[in-house]
Structure 1
Amino acid sequence: MTYVDSGPKIAGTPPAAGGAPSPRRPLPSADGAAPAGNEAARLWAALPRELAIRFKPRVNPLARAILREVQRAVPEYRRPLEGGFGRVITQGVRQSILQCLESVGKPAHAAAPAEAWAAVFRNLGKIEFQEGRSLDCLQTAYRVGGQVAWQHISDFARATGISADALCIGAEATFAYVNEISALSIEGYTAARDRAAGTRVRRRQRLLELLLSDPPPAPGAVAAQAVAAEWVLPAEVAVVALETRPGRAQDPGDLHPDVLTVLDGDRPCLVTGAPQRDLRDLGSLFPGRRAVVGPTVPTADAARSLQWAQRTLRLVQRGVLPDAQLTLCADHLSTLWLLADQFLIRELCAQSLEPFAGLTPKQRARLGETLLVWLQTRGGSAPEIGKRLKVHPQTVRYRMRQLVELFGDRLENPDDRLDLEIALRAEALLDS
């Protein structure tokens, strides 16, 4: 029997034309769907049972050949077949061969491989994830194993005079089986990956809670949780306070994976150890949602960075600070300091500006702005102050005479002048 194929040859490969099935079927990708049903079992069932009995003595030589070729083709598997790895891969190869033989000549009652068999290949996928490899190595191993199995089947067919039809069915069954066990390994790999991702998310949420605890926990507790969460503990962090939003917020995909996030609840925020890297495009990541970057602080003080970011956010929302989608605490330190304790600052305003108490609001406003400019210009001239206030110098002189009558020698005392400037600045912010 002569085969003609323009593609690369595998010894004994059946034709891809002339009605015979092609064994070169693509394996499903890591994101692809598993093949429906158990096509391999249906095909094996179409072969005579006696073929499985006659092939049985070839099981061990075939298993050794597959292992040898797999190790040659996949560098990651080139290690002694000892310990857990050796047991798993050897078991997988033997299970593959024996399951196929068990299916020969028997009705395919199940739509998928029996659970005991399936568990082996799901576990291989799980081990690949745990070893830190992609599925490429395992899928290459399955392809190589299928090719080696086909070579042995074709040798067996020539030696025993199996019909061409049976040989083609055997080829199709072999590579359908490779597809099915590959899909099972994808299933195991994906499940292990998803479990690990869920565990890591939970550990990072716990780490975030510890970092933002007030008072802070013991440094050892944070360090241990950082290790468990696979997060390199930085020397300093910055915390970003976000506006709350109804419903569940979506995590923006462009954030660096090392940014710790909590986007829901009553204090949504981000924590980063590399603010220059992670917060460069922050404004575009949360459209329509104000964000405030807190001070960069030692990691143990992360709760304080969040506290100041939240205070700043409230000032933005009240209109005390400019309304912007992204605000940096570092740009408003004097204002934050002035309003850090509103009780004390109101007491200072009441005490320092007590001479204004008998004035009308309009008089108070005019004299207050004139006094503030005079203090800011360090006793500037009437023309200079008038230019700042956009009033005539004579108006400034008139107001200054009133201020001298109200405050007297306090305008000459440096400490009193400082208190007056602080009070006037704070009052303007509080009334805004």
Structure 2
Amino acid sequence: MRSTGANGLWASLPRDMGERFRPRADPLARAILQEVQRAVPEYAQPLEGAFGQIITQGIRQAILHCLDTIGQGTAALDKWSAVFRNLGRVEFKEGRSLDCLQTAYRVGGRVAWRHVSEFGQGIGADADLLCTAAEAIFAYVDEISALSIEGYTAAQERAAGTRARRRRRLLELMLSDPPSSPQSIAAHAANAQWAMPAEVTVVALERRLGPMDPDSADLDSDVLVDFEGPKPCLVTGDPDKHLKDLAERLPGWRAVIGPAVRLTEAPRSLLWARRTLRLVQRGVLPDNPVTRYSDHLSTLWLLADEFLVRELCTRSLAPFDDLTPKQRARLGETLLIWLQSRGSAPEIAKKLKVHPQTVRYRMHQLIDLFGDRLNNADDRLDMEIALRAEALLADD
């Protein structure tokens, strides 16, 4: 059975045919180049420097490889593969898609077939021989196209890996403590191809469900991410755009959105995002897939220094110390509502869903415990803060 690969097809042709065509190699190369430049506008430029050298070399190498293979099949494609992989790499570095190069290959194949057909008819080659030559030409086009795709893809993956590493380093610099200089951040941002915004928002992350699947995250390419670190997070300069529907974009993650801050204050945004996350982890705040720091400012302020808060609770609520837990809970609840509303017994009873007489009894107990402190504005403020803090920390 005859081989369908280009190498086998060329090898099935008479060696004499290749040698007789060899003087036509240079005219064919010029014809291919001319037609490619006409058909592909991106290549219609003066063939000077590295670009011109690579294009002309690629055309010439393709023709010579085919001629060297005719009748013997010893010139394996591997010998020339670096040339065509390099063409793919060049296309990526030039910022073009593969469409231009693929079009050029197809155009080159058509021009080559036209020249080979004319030559074959001129020497009286039979139809089967010409059909084999046509198959060989277009099989070869397919093979060198595949090589260029390999080169293009490899360059693309290397660039993506390099950019990802640079962006991870940029993220580290932005969130470092002490912070890096604005000049250093700007230099790394340029190197990582990341447009620096005036403000950034940091999102603290925690894995909730199963192992991380990198392909499951649906985030914009402008979002800086660290999924693998001990304290995963992401940074965005456009939270309205990038954090919309974040729960769907990050399935299986718990996300806490910190404040928007100046770029140089990114560590502060991370600090408050992580503090909020810790309160979620402890059950102080609701455990939702996405939590916004800004929705819990009073709680964050109140618990910013828990040592001081507990000291305040100990001092302000000391009269409760000798009560049983149930007594303390009932009187604390009644005192907090009274401090918040300063309402009458019926009003407080309605909120507590108890009888007004029960409220009057409790208020007498509170007066006995706290005395004139209930009439002092500063003491009342301390009591309210302490009672609110106790309620937040009750399940801790």
TM-score range, shorter chain: over 0.9
Deviations 1:182-209 (A, max 9, x none): 1111111111111111111111111121
Deviations 1:48-82 (A, max 9, x none): 22222222221221111111100111011110111
Alignment partner of 2:90 out of 103, 124, 127: 127
Letter of the structure 2 residue corresponding to residue 85 of structure 1: F
Deviations 1:302-342 (A, max 9, x none): 22222222222222222211232221111111011111111
- 2:158 maps to 1:195: yes
Deviations 1:106-148 (A, max 9, x none): 2x246x4143x11111100000111111111101101100111
Residues 412-421 or 48-57, more deviating: 48-57
Letter of the structure 1 residue corresponding to residue 259 of structure 2: P
CA distance in structure 1 between the aligned counterparts of 2:4 and 2:82, rounded to whole angstroms: 15
CA distance in structure 1 between the aligned counterparts of 2:209 and 2:164, rounded to whole angstroms: 22
Question: What is residue 29 of structure 2 aligned with on the other side?
Answer: 63
Distance 1:265 1:248, change over 3 A: farther
Structure having the larger proportion of residues in helix:
2
Q: Is the 8 A contact 2:209 2:252 kept in 1?
A: no
Aligned residues: 393
- What does 1:217-228 align with in structure 2 at a 5 Å threshold? 217-228=180-191
- 2:309 maps to 1:342: no
Deviations 1:172-191 (A, max 9, x none): 11111111111111111111
Question: What is residue 151 of structure 1 aligned with on the other side?
Answer: 114
Question: What is residue 316 of structure 1 aligned with on the other side?
Answer: 280
CA distance in structure 2 between the aligned counterparts of 1:270 and 1:225, rounded to whole angstroms: 17
Letter of the structure 2 residue corresponding to residue 308 of structure 1: W
CA distance in structure 1 between the aligned counterparts of 2:248 and 2:121, rounded to whole angstroms: 68
Alignment partner of 2:219 out of 255, 268, 274: 255
- 2:200 maps to 1:237: yes
Question: What is residue 373 of structure 1 aligned with on the other side?
Answer: 337
Q: Which runs of 5+ in 2 are unaligned?
A: none
Question: What is residue 265 of structure 2 aligned with on the other side?
Answer: 301
Deviations 1:226-274 (A, max 9, x none): 1121111112222222224697512324221222222234212222111
- What does 1:63-102 align with in structure 2 at a 5 Å threshold? 63-102=29-68
Distance 1:362 1:226, change over 3 A: same
Alignment partner of 1:394 out of 323, 342, 357: 357
Q: Is the 8 A contact 1:295 1:305 kept in 2?
A: yes
CA distance in structure 2 between the aligned counterparts of 1:302 and 1:398, rounded to whole angstroms: 53
Structure 2 length as normaliser, TM-score? 0.94
CA distance in structure 2 between the aligned counterparts of 1:391 and 1:77, rounded to whole angstroms: 86
Q: Is the 8 A contact 1:244 1:264 kept in 2?
A: no
Q: CA deviation at 1:160?
A: 2.2
Structure 1 length as normaliser, TM-score? 0.86
- 2:255 maps to 1:266: no
Q: Is the 8 A contact 2:218 2:250 kept in 1?
A: no
CA distance in structure 2 between the aligned counterparts of 1:380 and 1:46, rounded to whole angstroms: 103
What is the percentage of aligned positions where both structures have the same residue? 67
Question: What is residue 30 of structure 1 aligned with on the other side?
Answer: none
Alignment partner of 1:43 out of 1, 4, 9: 9
Letter of the structure 1 residue corresponding to residue 13 of structure 2: L
- 2:248 maps to 1:284: yes
Equivalent position SS for 1:295: strand
Deviations 1:394-427 (A, max 9, x none): 2222222222232222222222211111111001
CA distance in structure 1 between the aligned counterparts of 2:253 and 2:16, rounded to whole angstroms: 72
Q: CA deviation at 1:149?
A: 0.8
Equivalent position SS for 1:297: strand
